[in-house]
Structure 1
Amino acid sequence: MSRWFNTAGPCNPADHYMLPALQRLPEVRSLIDQNSYFVLHAPRQVGKTTTLRVLADQLTGSGRYAALYFSCEEGEVAGDDFASAQRTILRELQRRAELALPADLRPPPLVFEGDEGLLRAHLSAWARACPRPVVLFFDEVDALRGQSLLSVLRQLRAGFSDRPAAFPSSVILCGLRDVRDYKVASGSGNTLGTSSPFNIKVESLTLRNFSRDEVAELYAQHTADTGQPFLTEAVDRAFYWTQGQPWIVNALARQMVEKLVPDRTQALTAVHVDAAKEILLRRQDTHLDSLAERLREPRVRRILEPMLAGLALGNVPEDDLRFIQDLGLVRMAPGGGLEVANPLYREIIPRVLANTAFASLPPQSTTWMRADGRLDMERLMEAFLAFWRQHGQPLLGTAPYHEIAPHLVLMAFLHRVANGGGTLEREYAIGTGRMDLCLRYGPDTLALELKVWRDGEKEPLEEGLAQLDGYLAGLGLTSGWLVIFDRRSGQPPIAERTSASQTHTPAGRLVTVVRA
């Protein structure tokens, strides 16, 4: 039986296509050989657990170490009850050791005496009894809260000077965030503020995404097993949408080879990648759904809302900037400034935010379709104007991000068009003052630029026409829409001020200007 592309839980080489565990963490082995304590932090579902479990197995298999991976996640419910948290962690450590280590390398039986220092006492007893240096991977350590987290960190620090004879020789703390950002109390905005409870760390590492060549390497494993090739254009397109995010790389491939093109004699192309991308966007599987849950968090909203609106970030707390990057939602662009981490996230974020507006849409016939299945742009405009005049005002209240409420309602309307067999793509960035939309339906393409006219700002028409000119040129189009949402105070109701007229860009392209 051939292997498959895994999208649920850790990978194992017998069943799943996967890259060598240390390929993205070449420095880890030398740090362990130096008896170092360090931190590994990265967004969820980038392969941390897979990498750590394989690394632990390799270290133990080398004959030099007794290495163990285990999770601290169950300790989260203990809150500040550090005694309960320690017992939970030690039981999980014991359970994992029985599964992963030979009998002579396992820790001694658990002895729970008192409430303080349980972890340090047990690890010390194990290190003294074990014939090899002990290496521990504390995964999900940032699930711990308050006094439980501080207790674990301080016990590790206290035992550090006794390594390797009487304490683990190397400890790796793994989680979403760096140790300096671990929360002290559940539900609190306070953090440790310093790495002092764990000031013995020598490095803070992160697990990077796949490179383009690594995506090709992963996909080539499927070709080697089944004979089904991924064309170069498919690899390039997959890397474009994912920027190497491991879960999405696997999810796209899984949709292609299991659902879209199960015939192993048929090559996989860029068209198949785009089709798989649309399936993921519609289904919002586990990984994408968990990201969507984050969008309403105040720390996330403070950054994403101005990004979507094309505004400057303003005075955003540094911890919020680190947090949203640690989530993997955004990244620092090579030239500076935040950008959404990959084009697929750039698509899913506004789509998720527009879901409520989409669900609130009234029934409407597809009057914009011609008999031959093509879009009738004039009738589409008429349908939108009628929709906006009647439903725009009440639907604005359904949007979760106030600054882009009209954008989300318009996108909900366009999704209704796209769901008939098209796609809707978006471009937005900090400080651009606009959002660009591209509706594709068969051979028809409609480009839209969205601008907002706020109090104290000048009329955005001239700037919008110049910006739309560049967007149309990039798409090879000769016409498009410029939608100006007038959000100045004291304006007439939407039904009265919504209108459409035609003009031209500086380069002579035909533009329909919608004032809404």
Structure 2
Amino acid sequence: MISAGNDKALAGAPAPARIAQRALWRCPLAPEPSTIMQRFFNNAGPIKPQLHYHLPRLQRLDWEEVQQLIREQRYFVLHAPRQTGKTSTLLAMMQALNGCGDYACAYANIEGAQAARGDATQGIPAACSAIARSIEDYTQNPALNQWWMQGGRQHQAQDQLTQLLRHWSRITTQPTVLLLDEVDALVGDTLISLLRQIRAGYAQRPESFPQSIVLCGVRDVRDYRLEQEGAQVITGGSTFNIKAESLRMGNFTEAETRALWLQHTEATGQMFDEAIFPELWEDSRGQPWLVNALGYEVTWKNRAARDRSQPIGLIDYQAARERLIQSRATHLDQLSDKLKEPRVNRVLQGLLTGEEDSLDNLRMDDQQYVEDLGLIVTRPGVRISNRIYQEIIPRELSWIAQTRIPNQEPAWYIDPDHSLNMPKLLAAFQQFFREHSDSWSEGFDYKEAAPQLLMQAFLQRIINGGGRLTREYGLGRKRTDLLIEWPLDPEQGMYGPLQRVVIELKLLRGKLDAVIQTGLAQTQDYCRRVGADEAHLVIFNRNPKVSWNKKIWHKPASLEGFSIGVWGA
């Protein structure tokens, strides 16, 4: 209970201080005030500098270019994949523009209008309400929102936004700048109307319309697909042809990724093993949510690491990585949902199989769309964006299969020395594949990659929870590389000695002998790179005219004295 004396003592304090102190009085288990503001890795929502480790937010884009576009009264697009830091950057832009005193700038998130779908009579008023409230909140001027509530809403939906922005600009002494977030969440007539109303007021800027408007979302405006009932699909580029530039926010660099994590060491004294940083870079490639989520997982979700005197080692990091993958966190769940889209399917098929010919008829727009989603990068070559996405994508595509594979238990394949009996495991897979591949492959949306996905589902079922399965693949490789790491000492687990096994997956294209020879060289090369001491090459024959008796076989092989088991399926 808070006493009257305490209330009086706080009477002159700022509201945040009163709220924070009352929270402490109410909670007898609350930490000491000195620890309340200890910063942490942010894995949800915009950056709050006083709470979160962060990089300078305006460092994420060319701030000088943005300022010049605004001075030139340009309307432009800022886009980036989800949870990349767009909102944090927009808020920092707004603070900087308002701080210089030359503009009245407001940020508004209009995602709530998405609920109206294509009904512009509902969607546009919802967007206008969000914009009016935001302008009041961020400019400390209630006049516009009062105008909107008292009469502005009486305008027709197809003119409401134009009138709202016109009124804002006319009652404000400085030129106005509007930062609109989640624009591409809108669909159909709602999105068409919003873009066209902005375009309608463009010629009246800056006296009677915003000097500059920034549209922000996952996709560039050129990739908006605007479907009207009874009409063909039109693109955002044709509806919003006043766009001057399209700026894309990138990921952190390797140096920035390291610098962000070292803020934790500077704040707490807790050290990271240097071996973590190359792994962190390959796992995330600087994707901001992944960098922060991995940091939060390894420094807080791992309870032992809460003792800041304990250094964090590579095994701790690898365990945190696996927990994050298995958690199916919101970011990863959203990524998985995109895999169902036909446009994404068409692009990823070739990456999962390594076969270039599956992309022969691919449209440039589809590849650009998947890159805008953050799933792939196109330079220097097309590949899945980072190593964690490489893990997530096949796991998600084969998850149902993995959970429904019958009569398979890890204990069946563990020898007395606690090692995995790989010949026994692969022979079991051959029989499983023979019995189920035709029916189960039909259940995969990614049918071209079905053999590789089914193999990975089978291995994940056996290895999950005991060891680790790592995947490597890319366009033009014509193979999928799998690395199994299995603990040989149950007491030490992944912290002790490990059995490392490489499995190379290839589709039979051309003559078998030639495929085997190429596959042996590729398998040996991968073994050398990852330090594996056991290797197997699995070749899938997808010719329906070949009998299973001829598809299923096994023989030993070697290359330069290195033994490799070769399996047909």
Settle same-fold status: TM greater than 0.5. Answer: yes
Which one-letter code corresponds to 2:363 in the other structure? P
1:46 and 1:189 map into 2 onto residues whose CA distance is 34
Query: Could you list the per-position Cα deviations for residues 117-173 of structure 1 after superposition, in whole angstroms to 9, with x for gaps in the alignment?
Result: 111111111101012221111111112223322222222222222222211111000
- Number of the residue aligned with 2:523: 468
Query: Could you list the per-position Cα deviations for residues 383-440 of structure 1 after superposition, in whole angstroms to 9, with x for gaps in the alignment?
Result: 4345445555544344332112121221122112322421111111112221111111
- Number of the residue aligned with 1:428: 473
Query: Could you list the per-position Cα deviations for residues 311-361 of structure 1 after superposition, in whole angstroms to 9, with x for gaps in the alignment?
Result: 111111122111111110001122xx3110111111111111111110111
Deviates more, 1:60-69 or 1:435-444: 60-69
1:376 to 406, 418, 421: 421
Q: Classify 1:78/1:378 alpha carbon distance in 2 versus 1 (closer, same or farther; 3 Å).
A: closer
Deviates more, 1:444-453 or 1:108-117: 108-117
- Number of the residue aligned with 1:280: 324
Q: Classify 1:393/1:122 alpha carbon distance in 2 versus 1 (closer, same or farther; 3 Å).
A: closer
For structure 2, the 5+ residue unaligned runs are 1-35, 488-497
2:205 to 163, 175, 178: 163
Pairs within 5 Å for 1:100-499: 100-103=138-141, 109-110=147-148, 111-112=152-153, 113-185=155-227, 192-193=234-235, 195-260=237-302, 261-312=305-356, 313-334=359-380, 337-365=381-409, 366-442=411-487, 443-453=498-508, 460-477=515-532, 479-493=534-548, 497-499=551-553
- Number of the residue aligned with 1:38: 76
- Number of the residue aligned with 2:555: 501
- Number of the residue aligned with 2:107: 69
1:290 and 1:46 map into 2 onto residues whose CA distance is 13
Cα RMSD (Å) of the superposition? 2.4
- Number of the residue aligned with 2:11: none
Query: Could you list the per-position Cα deviations for residues 201-255 of structure 1 after superposition, in whole angstroms to 9, with x for gaps in the alignment?
Result: 2210011101112112222222232222334332332122100000000100001
Query: Could you list the per-position Cα deviations for residues 170-193 of structure 1 after superposition, in whole angstroms to 9, with x for gaps in the alignment?
Result: 100011111111111179996544
1:447 is paired with a residue whose SS is: strand
1:23 to 49, 59, 68: 59
Q: Classify 1:128/1:458 alpha carbon distance in 2 versus 1 (closer, same or farther; 3 Å).
A: farther
Q: Classify 1:512/1:188 alpha carbon distance in 2 versus 1 (closer, same or farther; 3 Å).
A: farther
- C-alpha contact 1:137 1:173 (8 A) present in aligned 2: yes
- C-alpha contact 1:104 1:130 (8 A) present in aligned 2: no
Q: Classify 1:391/1:117 alpha carbon distance in 2 versus 1 (closer, same or farther; 3 Å).
A: closer
Which one-letter code corresponds to 1:265 in the other structure? S
2:351 and 2:167 map into 1 onto residues whose CA distance is 52
Question: Between Structure 1 and Structure 2, how many residues are aligned?
Answer: 512
Which one-letter code corresponds to 1:403 in the other structure? E
- C-alpha contact 1:68 1:97 (8 A) present in aligned 2: yes
2:78 is paired with a residue whose SS is: strand
Q: Classify 1:477/1:255 alpha carbon distance in 2 versus 1 (closer, same or farther; 3 Å).
A: closer
2:122 to 84, 106, 116: 84
Displacement of 1:287 in angstroms is 0.5
Displacement of 1:199 in angstroms is 2.4
2:255 and 2:170 map into 1 onto residues whose CA distance is 45
- Number of the residue aligned with 2:564: 511
Structure number with bigger Rg = 2
- C-alpha contact 2:60 2:250 (8 A) present in aligned 1: yes
Query: Could you list the per-position Cα deviations for residues 278-326 of structure 1 after superposition, in whole angstroms to 9, with x for gaps in the alignment?
Result: 1111112111111111112111111111211111111111221111111
Q: Classify 1:200/1:458 alpha carbon distance in 2 versus 1 (closer, same or farther; 3 Å).
A: farther
- C-alpha contact 1:127 1:133 (8 A) present in aligned 2: yes
1:109 is paired with a residue whose SS is: helix
Which one-letter code corresponds to 1:399 in the other structure? F
2:557 is paired with a residue whose SS is: strand
Displacement of 1:5 in angstroms is 1.2
Which one-letter code corresponds to 1:146 in the other structure? G
1:263 and 1:201 map into 2 onto residues whose CA distance is 52
Displacement of 1:276 in angstroms is 1.4
2:375 and 2:534 map into 1 onto residues whose CA distance is 33
Which one-letter code corresponds to 1:318 in the other structure? M
What percentage of aligned pairs have identical amino acids? 39
- C-alpha contact 2:180 2:216 (8 A) present in aligned 1: yes
1:10 to 46, 54, 58: 46
2:514 and 2:445 map into 1 onto residues whose CA distance is 26
2:281 and 2:506 map into 1 onto residues whose CA distance is 30
2:47 and 2:398 map into 1 onto residues whose CA distance is 34
Higher helix content, 1 or 2: 2
- C-alpha contact 2:504 2:519 (8 A) present in aligned 1: yes
Displacement of 1:382 in angstroms is 4.2
1:392 and 1:167 map into 2 onto residues whose CA distance is 61
2:157 is paired with a residue whose SS is: coil
Which one-letter code corresponds to 1:438 in the other structure? L
Deviates more, 1:19-28 or 1:203-212: 19-28
Q: Classify 1:455/1:374 alpha carbon distance in 2 versus 1 (closer, same or farther; 3 Å).
A: closer
Deviates more, 1:451-460 or 1:374-383: 451-460
1:492 and 1:56 map into 2 onto residues whose CA distance is 67
